[in-house]
Structure 1
Amino acid sequence: MPLTLAGLLAHRDLHLHLRTGRTDVVVQWAHVSELVDPTPYVDRGTLLLTTGLGLGRTSRRWPEYVDRLARAGVPVVGFGVGLRHAEVPPPLIAEAAGRRLSVVEVPEATRFSAVVRAVADGLVTEERAEQAAAMERYRALVRAALTPPPHRSVITRLAGQLDAWVLLLSREGHLLAGAPEQARRHAERVRLEVARTRSWHSAVFDVGGDRVTLLPVGGRARAAGVLAVGRAAPLHRHERGVVEVAVDLLSLGVAQTAEVLGSERRERATVLSMILAGRCEAAADAAESLGIPLPDGPVRIAALTAPVERRADLLEALENENSLQIVSALVAGDDSGRVVVVLPAVEGDAGVVQNVTSTVSGSHGAIGEPVEMADLSRIWPKIAALADTLPATVLGRLLTTRDVADVGLLSYVSPAEADGWAFAMIAPLQAEEARRTDLLGTVRAYLAHNGNSEAASTALGIHRRTLTYRLGRAEALLGRSFSDPGLRAELWLAFTVRER
C-alpha cells in the first residue's frame, strides 16, 4: 500500500492536525522550504513543510503561492505554527481548499525533521511490503509454471495477480492462452498491433479504456511469441517486475508450447476421424492413451465453417471455451477445413457453441440432435453437408436440422438469381396476347387450389370450360403439361419469388 496522508496523521507522536483537504492523497517524499517559490526544488507527490517566513498573514501572494504548488503536483502543505505565525493563515486554508490542496498544521513542538523521518520510514515500509508481495507473486508464478499445462497456468495466475486480462500468442499469431475468458476478444487487436509494428519488441498501446503492454516472449532476436497485458490502470514498478518474471517463465517453453498445441490438435483430429468412421471403441482406446477426455452419454455433433483467414480463430475460440472444457467436449478440425465439436447433450449445450460462433465473423454451422456416440458416423454426412451449404443469411448462427428447414430453400439462392429464374419461368405466360386473358392469374389460382378445376374456376368467377381453355393455352406457351408435378412445383416457386 502506498504511503498516504492518513498514514502520517496516524502517527500520534507527531500531533499533526488536518486543516483542509483529503487524507487519501499519496505522499512520495517530504521537503522543507521557506522560499516564496519552492517548486523548482520539489517533485510531484512531495509534502512541502514550511513556516511561511516569506509570506505575511494576509499576504496577497498566498493565491500565487498555492497555485504554484498545485501546478507542481504538491499534494500536501505541512504548515509549522509558533515561529512566524501563531496559526495556519486563513488565506492559505481558503486558497488550498479551492485548489484541492491538503493543509496540515504542524505544532511548534514537532520538528520538521521528525515529519521527514516519518515519511522516509513509511516509504521504506511500503517498499518492503511491495517487495514482499512481489516475491510472493514470483513464487506463485513459478508454482504455476510447474502445473500442466504450464503456459495456461502462468497466464491464469498472472491475470489474477494483476487484475488484468492477459493473452499469450505464438509467433504465427495463434492464441495459446488467455485469461479471463473474455480476454480472447482482444486477440485480433493484439495481432494487428504486432503486424503494424512489423517487429517483435516491447510496446504500449490503448484498447478502448485499457492500457496494453506488449512484451516479446523468447527473445527479441527471434521471439517465439508475445505476451499482452491490459487493464485500465498502468502497471506499477513491482507489477512490471512480475510481468517480466512471467515472460521469463513463458520463454522457457512457448516455442515448445506451440509445437505441443499442434501435436494436440493432430491427436484430437485423429480421434475425431475414428469416431466419424464408426470406430468408436478404437477411438476411446486412442483417446485414453493420449489423455484426451471424451464426453459421456448421449452427445451432439456440430460442424462449423468460417472463411479461410478466420478458421484458426474459430478453432482457438472453441478450444479455449471453458464451458466446453468442463464437459470434456472434443474440439478438432477435419480434413475439409471444418471445426467439429462433439459435446454431451446437456441443457444449454448448443447455446455455448452458438455464443462462440457469433464472436468469430463469417462463421456459422449446424448441430445435430442427441444420439449415442456410435451413431455419429450415421448422422455426420448430413450435418457436414448442411454446414457446407448454409446460406450467407445465417452467418454467425448455429442451426439445428429443424432450423435449416425453417430457413427455406429460397435462402440458399441470391435474390438476383432467384428473380432472374422466376422471370424466365413465367415469361411465356406474360406474352402480350397471354396478358389479355390473364393467364398468370388463372395458372396461379389453379396451382393454389392444388389442381382442383372446379374450385379454381369458382375462385376466378369463370366457367369451368373457360378455365380448361386457358390452361390449355398456358400449356402450349410453356411447352409442358400441368400433369407434370415438376412443372407445378417450379411454377409455384416462381410465383413465390415474384410475389416476394
Structure 2
Amino acid sequence: MRRAGEQIGENGWHDSTKPSDSPGRAGAVMSVSLRELVEETEFKLRVLHAADDSALERAVVWAHSSDLVDPTPWLEAGQLLLTDGMQFAVPEAPEMAEAPGPGAAVDAPAAGSRSPVSRSPVSATATVRFQSLASEGVFDAYVARLRAADVAALGFATEVIHAEVPADLVSACRRHGLTLVEVTERTPFIGIIRYLADQRALEQRARLEWSLQAQRKLARAALRPGGLGAILVELERQLESWVALYDSTGLRVDAPTRIRVPESEAPEVERMVQSLLARGGRSGARLHGDGGDVTLQTVGQHGQLRGVLAVGGRAPLDLAGNDLVASAIGHASIALEQNRELDAARGHLRVGLLELLLAGEMEVARRTAETVWGELPAAPVRVVQARGGEPGQALLDRLERLAGSGSEPLFFAAREQELIAIVPAGGGATLVEALADAGFSAGASAPGDWAELPRLLAEARKAAERSTPSRPSVWFEDLATTGMLGALEAADGRVTARRVLQPLLEHGEQGRLLLDTLAAWTEGNCAWDPVAKSLGIHRHTLRSRVTAAEQLLGIDLQTFAGRAEVWSAMRLLDEA
C-alpha cells in the first residue's frame, strides 16, 4: 500500500471515480451513469461506439459543451463533452451567405465527405457555406487529446452543423478507445446539463439526510455502556468499512467490530500509526493501494494524543464520510478522557494496594485486587523495579493491557516517579520487553514469598541500579554469582566504594582526570611506561598523577592491598 496525500486537510479529499455501494464512501459527487443518460428518452441519444464493455457504466461527473479544437484545459476526468462539430468545418467566407427563400432545400454534406462546398442545416433562414470538413489528422489529434484528458464520452450533435457524425471522427474514436454518442433531433445541450445538475442536487440532499441520520446514531452509541466500543461499531455499520482504533502506544484497542483489518494492509497501517503518534500533534494521513483506501486521524490534543483512528474501504471517504469520522473522533476523545479519569483512579488504587502489600496486609490487598483486576501472581514472585524516569501514560496503558490479557499474571504500581511490578518467579519477559520498548531498564529481585516483599523490593532496586542501556535487565541472582564484586554489589558495596573514592569525586575536573588515570593505570597492571604511552603522556606525568591521587585518597598505592581497594571501588561505581 502506498501513501497518497499524507497530510489531511480540514475539507478532506476529492476523487472523481464512481462511488462504491457503501453509503459513507464516495469518489464522484454524483452517480449518473452514461447508460442511464442514454436510456433517458428525452435526450434522443444514440451510442455509436463504446470504448469497452464497462464504458456505459461509467459515472458522468458533469457535461461540458465546447466547439474548441482543444477544450481539454477546461475539462475534468469523467465529464461528457458535447459539441456540434463547428470546429471541424472550414468556412468559405467570414460573412453569412444569402438566406434561401421560403421552402428552399438545404444541402447537407455526407458524413466524411470532402466536397468543395457544403451547406449547414443550422437554420431555415440563414446558412453558412463550408469548403470542406477537417482532415483525418485533425480528427485523430482531437480524439487523442480527449482520451488523454480521460473524458467519459464525446456527445456529437447532428442536424445542426453536420447531417451525420463524420466518418473520420467515428474511426478516430474507435482507434483511441473513446466512447462516442450521437445527440440527435437537435436535443438542447442545456437540457442534458440541467438533468445532471438536478441529479447532483438530489444526491447531495440524500447525502445530507444520510449524514444527519448517521450523526444522530453515532451520538446515541456514545451514550451506551462501553461507549468507545459502541462508537466504533456504529461507525463501521454506517460506513460499511473496517474501523480500527489504536492507543497512544500504537497497539490496537479491542472492540466488537465485525470487519477485520486486511492482513495485507495491517503492517503499513501500523507503521503509519506509529509515525503519526511520533509527531505528537494533531494530524492525519491517507494510504492508497490495490486493497483500497485508508484514512487515519489522530485522537486527542497536541502533546496529549490518545491514539489514532483508522478507517479503510474500497474508495476514499467523501465529504459526508469525513464529517462522520470527525464526529466519531470527537465522541471517542470524550470517551477516552473518561477512561483516563478512571485509569487515574485505578492508578491511585494500585499504589494503595502496594502499600498494603508492603505492610503485610495480604488478605485485604488480595481481595481488593481480585475484585478489580483478578488474582495476584502466585508465590514465589519477583519484584521488578523500572529505571529511566517517570513512566508515561503510554507505558502505563500497555502494562494495563498486559495485566488484563491473562497471558501472564502481573501487578504493577507507579508511585513517586518509580514503577514497581510483581510477576511470577518464572515470568517477567513480556514486562521487561514493554519497559525496554519505552526506553526503561529494569532490575528484578530473587524469587521470594509475598511476606518477603520489602526485602524483594530492596533487591530489585539494587539490581536496577546496575542496569544500563546496553544491559536493560539485571536479575539480582546475577549480581551474587559474578565473583567477589557481585557479592559486594549484592551487599550494597557501592556505598562503601563511593566513600572510598569521595575525595576524588568531589575534586571536580582534576579529580575526574585522576580517576581516569588510576583506571588506566590499574587496568594496565600498574606498568608505568606502557600506560603512559597509551595515555599519551610522559611516565613522570603519570607518576605525578598517581601520587596526587594517593595523597587525596589517603591510600598507599605502592602496595597490592591499596591498589586492589581502589580498583574494586572504581569497578563497583563503574568508574573504571
Say if 2:386 and 2:441, in contact at 8 Å, map to a contact too. Answer: yes
Aligned to 1:430: 527
| Alignment pair present for 1:293 and 2:374 | yes
SS in 2 for 1:89: helix
Aligned to 1:387: 464
Say if 2:412 and 2:421, in contact at 8 Å, map to a contact too. Answer: yes
Q: Hey, what's the Cα distance between the residues in 1 that align with 2:135 and 2:481?
A: 86
Residue 357 of structure 1, aligned match among 424, 435, 459? 435
How has the CA–CA distance of structure 1 residues 302 and 50 changed in structure 2, closer, same or farther, with 3 Å as cutoff? farther
| Alignment pair present for 1:236 and 2:318 | yes
Say if 1:345 and 1:370, in contact at 8 Å, map to a contact too. Answer: yes
Alignment of 1:115-134 (within 5 A): 128=206, 132=210
SS in 2 for 1:304: strand
Say if 1:366 and 1:399, in contact at 8 Å, map to a contact too. Answer: yes
Deviations 1:209-261 (A, max 9, x none): 997646777xx9xx997775467996531222222322443465665544333
Q: Hey, what's the Cα distance between the residues in 2 that align with 1:186 and 1:167?
A: 12
Aligned to 1:326: 405
Q: Partner letter of residue 527 of structure 2?
A: Q
Aligned to 2:63: 31
How has the CA–CA distance of structure 1 residues 8 and 207 changed in structure 2, closer, same or farther, with 3 Å as cutoff? closer
Alignment of 1:41-52 (within 5 A): 42-50=75-83, 52=85
SS in 1 for 2:356: helix
Q: Partner letter of residue 267 of structure 1?
A: L
Q: Hey, what's the Cα distance between the residues in 1 that align with 2:469 and 2:388?
A: 11
Say if 2:65 and 2:81, in contact at 8 Å, map to a contact too. Answer: yes
Say if 2:246 and 2:308, in contact at 8 Å, map to a contact too. Answer: yes
SS in 1 for 2:62: strand
Backbone CA RMSD of aligned residues: 5.8
108-117 vs 27-36, greater mean Cα deviation: 108-117
Residue 63 of structure 1, aligned match among 111, 124, 141? 141
Say if 1:8 and 1:118, in contact at 8 Å, map to a contact too. Answer: no
Q: Which has the higher contact order (CA 8 A, sep 6+)?
A: 2
Say if 2:277 and 2:305, in contact at 8 Å, map to a contact too. Answer: no
Q: Partner letter of residue 344 of structure 2?
A: G
Residue 339 of structure 1, aligned match among 404, 409, 419? 419
Q: Hey, what's the Cα distance between the residues in 1 that align with 2:480 and 2:80?
A: 74
How has the CA–CA distance of structure 1 residues 255 and 118 changed in structure 2, closer, same or farther, with 3 Å as cutoff? closer
Aligned to 1:54: 87
How has the CA–CA distance of structure 1 residues 255 and 424 changed in structure 2, closer, same or farther, with 3 Å as cutoff? same
Say if 1:29 and 1:120, in contact at 8 Å, map to a contact too. Answer: no
Q: Partner letter of residue 383 of structure 1?
A: A
How has the CA–CA distance of structure 1 residues 325 and 416 changed in structure 2, closer, same or farther, with 3 Å as cutoff? farther
Aligned to 2:559: 479
SS in 1 for 2:138: coil
| Alignment pair present for 1:90 and 2:160 | no
How has the CA–CA distance of structure 1 residues 178 and 107 changed in structure 2, closer, same or farther, with 3 Å as cutoff? same
Q: Hey, what's the Cα distance between the residues in 2 that align with 1:342 and 1:81?
A: 83
How has the CA–CA distance of structure 1 residues 314 and 247 changed in structure 2, closer, same or farther, with 3 Å as cutoff? closer
Aligned residues: 414
Q: Hey, what's the Cα distance between the residues in 1 that align with 2:516 and 2:56?
A: 71
Say if 2:383 and 2:445, in contact at 8 Å, map to a contact too. Answer: yes
Say if 1:300 and 1:368, in contact at 8 Å, map to a contact too. Answer: yes
Aligned to 2:355: 273
Say if 1:47 and 1:75, in contact at 8 Å, map to a contact too. Answer: yes
Q: Hey, what's the Cα distance between the residues in 2 that align with 1:430 and 1:39?
A: 87
Q: Hey, what's the Cα distance between the residues in 2 that align with 1:307 and 1:45?
A: 58
SS in 1 for 2:81: strand
Structure ranking higher in helix proportion = 1
Deviation at 1:85, TM superposition (A): 3.3
Deviations 1:129-163 (A, max 9, x none): 89659855863664355233x45764687699665
Q: Partner letter of residue 104 of structure 1?
A: T
Aligned to 1:197: none
Deviation at 1:354, TM superposition (A): 3.7
Alignment of 1:211-250 (within 5 A): 213=297, 229=309, 235-250=317-332
Say if 2:409 and 2:423, in contact at 8 Å, map to a contact too. Answer: yes
Q: Hey, what's the Cα distance between the residues in 2 that align with 1:398 and 1:156?
A: 41
Alignment of 1:66-465 (within 5 A): 66-67=144-145, 70-71=148-149, 74-79=150-155, 83-85=164-166, 89-94=170-175, 96=176, 103-106=178-181, 128=206, 132=210, 135=213, 139=217, 142-143=220-221, 145-148=223-226, 150-151=227-228, 154=231, 163=242, 166=245, 175=248, 179-180=252-253, 185-186=274-275, 188-191=277-280, 193=281, 213=297, 229=309, 235-250=317-332, 256-288=338-370, 291-295=372-376, 297=378, 301-308=383-390, 311-319=392-400, 321=401, 323-327=402-406, 330=410, 332-343=412-423, 350-361=428-439, 363-367=440-444, 376-394=453-471, 397-401=472-476, 420-425=517-522, 430=527
Q: Hey, what's the Cα distance between the residues in 2 that align with 1:315 and 1:340?
A: 11
Deviation at 1:283, TM superposition (A): 0.8
263-272 vs 369-378, greater mean Cα deviation: 369-378
Q: Hey, what's the Cα distance between the residues in 1 that align with 2:520 and 2:242?
A: 62
Say if 1:18 and 1:105, in contact at 8 Å, map to a contact too. Answer: yes
Say if 2:32 and 2:196, in contact at 8 Å, map to a contact too. Answer: no
| Structure 2 gaps, min length 5 | 1-19, 21-25, 40-45, 89-133, 159-163, 255-269, 498-511, 530-555
How has the CA–CA distance of structure 1 residues 239 and 295 changed in structure 2, closer, same or farther, with 3 Å as cutoff? farther
Say if 2:51 and 2:174, in contact at 8 Å, map to a contact too. Answer: yes
Say if 2:236 and 2:243, in contact at 8 Å, map to a contact too. Answer: yes
TM-score by length of 2: 0.53
Deviation at 1:352, TM superposition (A): 2.7
Deviations 1:9-57 (A, max 9, x none): 7769848663259869973623152522445765554233456553447
Q: Hey, what's the Cα distance between the residues in 2 that align with 1:207 and 1:340?
A: 40
Deviation at 1:266, TM superposition (A): 1.0
268-277 vs 154-163, greater mean Cα deviation: 154-163
SS in 2 for 1:261: helix
TM-score by length of 1: 0.59
| Structure 1 gaps, min length 5 | 98-102, 169-174, 195-202, 433-475
Deviation at 1:490, TM superposition (A): 5.5
Q: Hey, what's the Cα distance between the residues in 1 that align with 2:209 and 2:142?
A: 40
Deviation at 1:385, TM superposition (A): 2.4
Q: Hey, what's the Cα distance between the residues in 1 that align with 2:311 and 2:217?
A: 23
Deviations 1:80-103 (A, max 9, x none): 597323585333454x56xxxxx2
Aligned to 1:19: 51
Say if 1:365 and 1:387, in contact at 8 Å, map to a contact too. Answer: yes
How has the CA–CA distance of structure 1 residues 20 and 428 changed in structure 2, closer, same or farther, with 3 Å as cutoff? closer
Say if 1:304 and 1:340, in contact at 8 Å, map to a contact too. Answer: yes
Deviation at 1:286, TM superposition (A): 2.6
How has the CA–CA distance of structure 1 residues 326 and 343 changed in structure 2, closer, same or farther, with 3 Å as cutoff? farther
Larger Rg belongs to: 2
Q: Partner letter of residue 326 of structure 1?
A: S
How has the CA–CA distance of structure 1 residues 138 and 301 changed in structure 2, closer, same or farther, with 3 Å as cutoff? farther
Q: Hey, what's the Cα distance between the residues in 1 that align with 2:414 and 2:74?
A: 69
Deviations 1:335-380 (A, max 9, x none): 342223345678xx6443244233323x111345776656655533
SS in 1 for 2:166: coil
